[in-house]
Amino acid sequence: MLTHDEFKSRDHFDQEELLGFAYGRLIEDPPEGFRARLPVPPMLMVDRIESITGEKSKGTISASRDVRLDDWFFHCHFLDDPVQPGCLGLDGVWQLLGFYCNWRGGVGAGRALGCGEVEFFGQIRPHDSVMRYEIKVKRYTELKNAGASMVVGDASVLIDDEEIYTVKGARVGLFRDIDYPDYPEKSEHSRGGRMER
C-alpha cells in the first residue's frame, strides 16, 4: 500500500499496484471523497504504467497491456475471426485518463465524458504481443467549487510498436457522490440516466 502523497509522487505503476487501485486497496489514507477505481479484470485494459508526468495543466502517460491468446473477447469477437474490439482500446485510454485525474489529486468517481475523434487503421490479433498507449494530456482542471476534476487528452494506441488507432479529445471527469457502493441494493444511486451538468 501507498500513502496518498506517495501515490501522487510516483511516476510509474506495475500490474499489482494497478490491481490494488482497481480493488480500492492501493492507497492506505485516501482523502475524503476518493471513490475512483479502475475496472477489475477482464475489463481492465492496462497492465502497467511505465511513465506518468504532469506539470501545470499538461502531462503524459505511457502504458501497456500484454495481449493474451485466451483474452475473453477473442472467443466472441468474431467467431473464426478473432480481433480485439476497437472500443476496448478507447476504453483503455479513458481508464488511463481517469487514473491520471486521481494521480493529480482529484477525488470522486470517474466517468468517461466522450471524445472528439477516433480513427482505427489496424487491428489486434491473438498472437500479437504488447498493446501500448501514448497519451498527451492537453488539459487537466480541478473545479473545486463543484467538487470535480476533468482531463482532456489525445492518444496513440500501438501494437508491437506500430500505431493502429488515434484518439483526439478524449475526456474523463471525476465527480463526487455519484458512485454506487451498496450495489446490488436499491438506493439513490441504483438507477442511471442523465447526470446533471
**Biggest CA-to-CA distance, the chain:** 52
**Distance between CA atoms of residues 106 and 172, nearest Å:** 12
Spot the catalytic one: 12, 77, 127, 189: 77
Enter the pTM of the model. Answer: 0.96
169 within 8 A of 115, measured Cβ to Cβ = yes
The CATH homologous superfamily of the domain defined by 4-175: Hotdog Thioesterase (3.10.129.10)
The grid coordinates of residue 179 equal 458512485
Strand partners, 8: none
Confidence (pLDDT) at 197: 53
- Which sequence spans correspond to the domains of the chain? 4-175
Residuewise pLDDT in 10s, the chain (197 residues): 999 999 999 999 999 999 999 999 999 999 988 988 999 999 999 999 999 999 999 999 999 999 999 999 999 999 999 999 999 999 999 999 999 999 999 999 999 999 999 999 999 999 999 999 999 999 999 987 777 999 999 999 999 999 999 999 999 999 988 889 899 999 988 999 887 65
pLDDT at residue 144 in the model: 76
Cβ(139)–Cβ(152) below 8 Å: yes
pLDDT at 147: 78
The answer to whether residue 77 is catalytic is yes
